Amino acid sequence: MKTNPKTQADVNSSENQSAKKAFKRVSEYGKQLAEKQKVKEMYGMREKQFRRFYSMAVASSQGAPGENLLNLLERRIDNVVFRLKMATTRAQARQMIVHGHVKVNGRKVTSPSYLVDVNDIITLAERTLKNSALLEQVIDKRMSIGIKVPEWLELVKKDRAGKVLRHPARADLQAPIEEYLIVEMYSK
């Protein structure tokens, strides 16, 4: 039987080197970039869209830019449809909107980046309400799950509709987002 020519000292030194590589410190920029990518991925956005929302948040005269950014992201119609339990994912909500299945105040909306405002009523289109497969497999199934709708939204299950009661506050977000890192990154 052949033995491995490596000695025990060689094995230990290679383990120490790989351990050092595994615990490499992340730079401040790396933390900021990771946070931005996490939020972009969470809301299903691309860089150009995200940057546009950031510039809108900075241009807003009230509140901190980070909180304004999260407020704008939460008010997007694709996110609101997801939060109202009308879709299982934000991507599915985007597809429903693009295909014309969602109405805001009785008007069909086909842009997922549409921003809802206070007292807006979000409903499903008539043709969607006639599609029993979608209603049973997606909408009713998700509405029966015990997921809580945020306090800034009101869900009317029997009508399969929702209403925006107020703008979302930072406290309404459950996700651990450190928005100040995103602001620091873009303000360089």
* pLDDT computed for residue 21 by the predictor: 63
Q: What is the pLDDT of residue 15?
A: 60
Task: Delimit the domains of the chain by residue range.
Answer: 27-170+179-188
**CA–CA gap between residue 188 and residue 20 (Å, rounded):** 31
**pLDDT averages per 10-residue partition of the chain, 188 residues:** 58 58 82 92 92 91 87 92 88 92 92 92 86 73 76 85 89 85 87
Query: Which CATH architecture best describes the domain 27-170+179-188?
Result: Roll (3.10)
What pLDDT does residue 124 have? 87
Q: What is the pLDDT of residue 95?
A: 92
* pTM recorded for the entire structure: 0.79
pLDDT score of 108 = 93
The dihedral built from the CA positions of residue 21, 23, 25 and 30, taken in this order, carries a sign that is: positive
